[in-house]
Amino acid sequence: MKIKSSKTLVIAVVVMAAVAAAAVFVIPLARHRSQNVSLGREWAGLLKKHPGFSAKRPTYPIDVNFQYAAPTDDNLRRLRDTYDLETVAGQGSETQRIINLTSWVFQLTGHANEPEFPKELNAFNLIHLAKVEHMLINCYMKTIILNEVFLAMGFDSRQTHLLPHSHEEDESHFITSVYSRTLGKWLLMDPDFGVYVTDEKGNILGVAEIRSRLIASEPLVVKDVVTGRSGLTKAWENFKSFIDGSDYAWFLSDFIFKIRCPQTSMFDQYSKPNRAYFELIPDRYREELLQEPKMTKTGNKIFFINDEGLFWQKPTGPSH
């Protein structure tokens, strides 16, 4: 009888431990996953309600043109030489050079959600803070670095602000859009997550293509810019994303509703006052924004447009 009682006690303890573990870990995890899945559906629904851009003209005169600093700029040339960016980029194809440069910026330092902002927001100061002072930085700062690195290497690029349908004052995301002359289109490079996105055939995608594929529920493949990561590591990350109910495509579906870029892409652009931005908004979304530009608290001006082709226009001028 004592043996049976002991076994019963052990079983009872195991069951209680399992129940406690479920209460502490499994149930909150399941609830968190459910919330993320619900958010993903909400964001996808907003994109599907506003899928297109019919090129409705603003009610005021506007000349949508983007300007890109040439690699002959003194600061960009110094950046290229100081960090030997030619070697960093390597001798591969244009797209491989773009990926190598993104990988280099990604590996400078880790991520911080709310880092202290330095007074100087340019590649030289931010790279120093990352490499020498081991400061963690966010997507905003990493895309400043990568944008200036691309410009220094002769690639036309823009720091690109991905914005949600609402709550943009609370949360958004920055990536770098770089123009591939070989492919004839803009590509998304994310130096904060260390990734880029392709279709199922391996074609690298830009913001416009990713947005369209999210709306159409077409597959997106997220690729790491850092090579040599083990299959086990990737499998574990995929498993965690599944358990959490979130992945990079889920993340983008919130922040790819509207897109904003500065008119001028250059070294240390944020030290220049009275900057102009173009923001692409979809059909049937706050069309009153097309009636006049918006002045920000810092004196910058945002011009809202509804023409996707104009927003993602091919850079003019000779190839650098």
pLDDT tens figures, 98-136 = 999 999 999 999 998 888 888 899 999 999 999 999 999
Q: What is the dihedral of CA 70, 154, 204, 64, to 10 degrees?
A: 10
pTM for the structure as a whole? 0.87
Mean pLDDT value across residues 90-101:
98
CB atoms within 10 A of CB 257: 23
Residue 102 forms part of a structural domain: yes
* Encoded tokens for 57: 């003209």
| pLDDT tens by residue, 67-91 | 999 999 999 999 999 999 999 999 9
Residue 30 forms part of a structural domain: no
Residue 282 forms part of a structural domain: no
Per-residue confidence at 12, pLDDT binned at 50, 70, 90? low
Which whole-number Å values give the CA distances from 155 to 146, 162, 174, 191, in the listed order?
Answer: 11, 21, 18, 16
Domain count across the chain:
1
**Percent of the chain whose predicted confidence (pLDDT) is above 70:** 83
CATH code of 196's domain: 3.10.620
Per the structure, the complete domain to which residue 194 belongs is given by: 66-274
- Most confident range (mean pLDDT) of 1-10, 241-250, 283-292 is 283-292
Residue 160 forms part of a structural domain: yes
Residue 262 forms part of a structural domain: yes
pLDDT of residue 170: 86
**Percent of the chain whose predicted confidence (pLDDT) is above 90:** 74
Per-residue confidence at 21, pLDDT binned at 50, 70, 90? very low
**106-115, 129-138, 222-231, 237-246, range with the lowest pLDDT:** 237-246
Instruction: Give the length of the chain.
Output: 320
Residue 200 forms part of a structural domain: yes
Residue 197 forms part of a structural domain: yes
119 near 143, Cβ under 8 Å?
no
Residue 29 forms part of a structural domain: no
